[in-house]
Amino acid sequence: MENEGVERVFCCRGCHGAYLLITGVGLGEFYRRREWDNAGLPAGAYREQYSDSYLAPFVRHEEGEGVLEVLIDGIRCASCAWLNEKILARLDGVRDVRVNYATSRARVRFDPALAAPSRIFQRIADLGYLPRPYTLADSEAAAAREKRGLLIRFGTAFFLTMQLMAYSFALYAGYFQGIAADTRQTMQFFSLLVTTPVVFYCGWPFLVGAWRGMKNRTPGMDLLIAIGALSSYFYSVYALFGGGEVYFETAAMIVTLILFGRLLEHAARRRAAAGVERFLSLSPPEAQRLTSNGVERVASAILRPGDILLVGAGERFPVDGHVSAGVTEVDESPATGEALPVAKQPGAPVIGGSINLTGTVQVTVDLPLGESFVARVARLVEEAQNRRAPVQQLADRVAALFVPVVLVLAGITLCWQLAGGAAPAIALMNALAVVLIACPCALGLATPTAILAGSGVAAASGVIFKGGDVLERLARVTVVAFDKTGTLTRGEPRITEVLPVPGIAGDRLLGLAAAVEAGSTHPLARAIVAEHARSGGKDTPAEDVRTVAGGGVTGVVAGMRVAAGNRRFLQGEGVQVPDDLQEPAPGETAVHLSEAGCYRGTLVLQDGVRDGASDIVRYFQERGVACHLLSGDRQESARTIARQVGIENVRGDLLPADKGTLIEDMQRGGAVVLMAGDGINDAPALATAAVGCALAGGTDIAIETSDLVLAKGDLARLRLAHRVARRTMAVVRQNLGWAFIYNLVGIPLAMTGRLTPVYAAAAMALSSLCVVGNSLRLQRSDHG
Amino acid sequence: MDESIVILIILSLLLGAGCWLVFIWAVKKGEFDDMERPKHRMLDDDEERRP
């Protein structure tokens, strides 16, 4: 594009349009004022990071084509996705490109002879996006395959069942109004034709599941489904040639409805996965490495011990190392749970994942990324996930009880009819009829519809369940374990007390402190400034402000020299701090203030308890759920917070692995544990617990390993989640009840040989309607 | 009368089977894989002819 004699390049049509619009109304100034430093990704962030040999393992080969999955960072709108698609499609040898806007993933099909993966990556990078190779996690690929298979099976079953219904209605009509024997036979024959693939192709997964269940002696829902479908199928085949009533539609409907239920389950899980991805940051961890030629941005993964990194204020340390130059304060709460910043001098170790707060430092790498603290925690998480035993779902437990009961009833029918003098064939048919009527079609809908409705309601109010089984486990929780920093507490300090010396007003003391701390990003400073703004104080400008890491800050306010900081810092400034001051309690921090060399007072700050933290603890305790506090912070600080929110069981000084072990011990004792946390150090515990609950805004690894995520880090939503879970499970139980009741009524009819297809169809329709209607009730009710 | 019904049933089965084949083809081609992007696609400009 040419404009004002200068060539301008636009990233996409949208930006070009915006540019024309902006210059068109005479606001071209915007482009001169805009701060280019902050725009988009760092220049040269990509810089040929990936070679062909590195990318080779990420390419899948299908039918002579290479398929590459790329995660593209920087896709913000639909036109970004469009742009990537079009540009990549024009590369030589690229056959097909699909960019999924929701997940920022691209799938590129290309001819390996003509296009190289590195060219594709380079092209994406040229556009100003950051490509990363992406391997579908095995579980995810399996889920996608499973969904396709399920969809095909359901579509087939649906189509055939529709056909079957036409024949069945003709047969129902014939049952009431009379039908020619040969017409009936024809209809029944076509019914057999369409039902056979439904039972043996569409229902194959259930038959396999039932067989596995029998082999492992764990009868579940699959077994019940298989027994119901097969008994009605074979009963009908026999009746077709023996001249009786057929029940093909029962067999077909059971399979179709249950496949539909499985599809709903998949939909709920996918929606949750998309919801969780919103909370994760896509940008790859990268570091600024100091070399002889200056600073270069590189991926954290390629850092080697001995490399020297530059870490600016506000950035995360990419790997474990130690400070080699500069001083700063570090927020280690994501790693250790320690709420207050830790001062770091040269030589002090820093943990990957913790946040550099105040100053820019040089860090020497001690361990590569693969052996760092974060990687060790990730391994712990993986182990915990592998160890976690699957919990049997409610529907399976009910089926496990129901199957033997039905089989015993069928056996009784057989013996009773034989004893009554019936022909063996008739007796066997009646016994089979008992089994076929006992298996409710609505069984497959009972759980998925309720869970879809329940998780939908929860998602609308900011609670994301990662699966239906989470609702089930959450409803049965008996112990809740909380992390301290960032979960029960806000993770940032707040002023709790203002203690001026006599003759000085509290407001003035606060104003002085706020004036010198105004420009600082330190959490204590931010808390003081925020408190000052809240109390409505005026801003006084300070000059010549200097910050000493790990000490305090000095400045000149209204001509007077003001110092704020810890005791040692003020003494270093030549201020007499009274010795008889009350020592800060555990978890508290004192900021002393002096003006013109005279001590003026002290501000006491504390990492405050979140609003609603004690409410949520009381909520669980009132329902007989024990509450625990597990913290990586010191025992005393943990105990102080626990006292404030009303928790009695407190454990401090815990390592990440300890938290997981503690929860495992509790669960071995029969407890169902809910763990709520947000830090890296909580991740193993979140993975171990029956229900792991992360707060949005927490670390990525915590959100990834949890089962349920609370948006906006609001603890009151945990109560909502628990209520929704309990209500949903109540509805599931009602649904299962409804589903079985209609069919139980049919059992006596079947036992006496009076079952008719019309009754079987009515039971089927009524139970399904009741179940779906009951589940929809969840959407209307108020969970407040 | 009976023959006409049989013919009609077979016809309907064939019609349905046609739809079913289209459905299978659509699933295999990945039409149902991404539910998010297609709805934004109508806002895209048409691609110019390749040079």
Reported as a pLDDT band with limits 50, 70 and 90, residue A136 is low
d(CA A349, CA A317): 11
Cβ separation of A13 and B45 shorter than 8 Å?
A: yes
The CATH number for A335's domain is 2.70.150.10
Lowest mean pLDDT among A264-278, A349-363, A433-447, A653-667: A264-278
B39 lies within 8 A of chain A by CB? no
Same structural domain for residues A58 and A34?
Answer: no
Same structural domain for residues A712 and A619?
Answer: yes
Same structural domain for residues A25 and A66?
Answer: no
Q: Which amino acid is at A97?
A: V
User: Residue A572 above 90 pLDDT?
Assistant: no
Same structural domain for residues A619 and A715?
Answer: yes
The CATH number for A62's domain is 3.30.70.100
* Chain A residues in contact with B47 (beta carbon < 8 A): 86
Residue A150 covered by a domain: no
The per-residue pLDDT for A154 is 93
Q: For A170, name the nearest residue in chain B, comparing CA atoms only.
A: B5
pLDDT digits (tens, 9 = 90+) for A522-570: 778 888 888 888 887 777 778 788 877 777 888 888 888 888 888 888 8
User: Residue A674 above 60 pLDDT?
Assistant: yes
Mean of all residue pLDDT scores within chain A: 81
Structure tokens at A760: 């079987």
Same structural domain for residues A8 and A60?
Answer: no
In chain A, helix, strand, coil percent, each to 5?
Answer: 55, 20, 30
- Of A327, A349, A376, the last residue of a domain is A376
Residue A620 covered by a domain: yes
The per-residue pLDDT for B22 is 94
Same structural domain for residues A473 and A327?
Answer: no
Nearest to B43 among A78, A90, A98 (CB): A78
Residue A450 covered by a domain: no
User: Residue A76 above 80 pLDDT?
Assistant: no
Residue A349 covered by a domain: yes
DSSP codes joined into one string, A364-415: EE-S-GGGSHHHHHHHHHHHHHHHPPPPPPHHHHHHHHHHHHHHHHHHHHHH
Q: For A79, name the nearest residue in chain B, comparing CA atoms only.
A: B44
Residue count (chain B)? 51
Cβ separation of B23 and A159 shorter than 8 Å?
A: yes
The per-residue pLDDT for B50 is 46
d(CA A229, CA A252): 7
Residue A623 covered by a domain: yes
Cβ separation of B27 and A152 shorter than 8 Å?
A: yes
Residues of A with catalytic roles: 483
A754/A602: higher pLDDT: A602
pLDDT digits (tens, 9 = 90+) for A725-756: 999 999 999 988 888 888 788 888 888 877 77
Same structural domain for residues A339 and A476?
Answer: no
ipTM of the complex: 0.82
Nearest to A151 among B12, B27, B34 (CB): B27
Domains in chain A, number: 4
d(CA A34, CA A29): 9
The per-residue pLDDT for A37 is 42
Mutate to test the interface with B, among A63, A77, A82, A154 (most CBs of B within 10 A): A82
Reported as a pLDDT band with limits 50, 70 and 90, residue A141 is low
d(CA A366, CA A369): 10
Structure tokens at A343: 């001062």
Q: For B40, name the nearest residue in chain A, comparing CA atoms only.
A: A78
The per-residue pLDDT for B44 is 62
- What is the percentage of chain A residues whose pLDDT exceeds 90? 10
Residue A197 covered by a domain: no
Residue A164 covered by a domain: no
State the Cα torsion A382-A388-A393-A394 to the nearest 10°. -130
The per-residue pLDDT for B47 is 52
- Of A135, A153, A171, the last residue of a domain is A135
Residue A422 covered by a domain: no
Same structural domain for residues A617 and A694?
Answer: yes
The per-residue pLDDT for A1 is 46
Question: Is A280 in contact with A705 (CB distance < 8 Å)?
Answer: no
What does residue A350 show for φ and ψ, rounded to 5 degrees? -120, 150
Query: Does residue A588 sit in helix, strand or coil?
Result: strand
Residues of chain B with pLDDT under 70: 1, 34-37, 40-41, 43-51
Residue count (chain A)? 784
The per-residue pLDDT for A191 is 92
Nearest to A102 among B5, B27, B36 (CB): B36
- Of A673, A708, A725, the last residue of a domain is A725
Q: How large is the average pLDDT for residues A336-346?
A: 79
Domain that holds residue A699: 468-488+610-725
Same structural domain for residues A371 and A473?
Answer: no
Q: What is the 3-state secondary structure (H, E, C) of A573-610?
A: CCCCCCCCCCCCCCCEEEEEEEECCEEEEEEEEEEEEC
User: Residue A139 above 70 pLDDT?
Assistant: no
B20 lies within 8 A of chain A by CB? yes
d(CA A371, CA A419): 74
The per-residue pLDDT for A619 is 92
Cβ separation of A152 and B9 shorter than 8 Å?
A: no
Beta-carbon neighbour count of residue A535 at 10 Å?
14
Same structural domain for residues A694 and A665?
Answer: yes
Same structural domain for residues A94 and A56?
Answer: yes
Same structural domain for residues A623 and A710?
Answer: yes
The per-residue pLDDT for A765 is 82
Residue boundaries of the structural domains of chain B:
2-41
Query: Does residue A596 sit in helix, strand or coil?
Result: coil
A580/A683: higher pLDDT: A683
Residues in Cβ contact with A781 at an 8 Å cutoff, skipping those fewer than 6 apart: A727
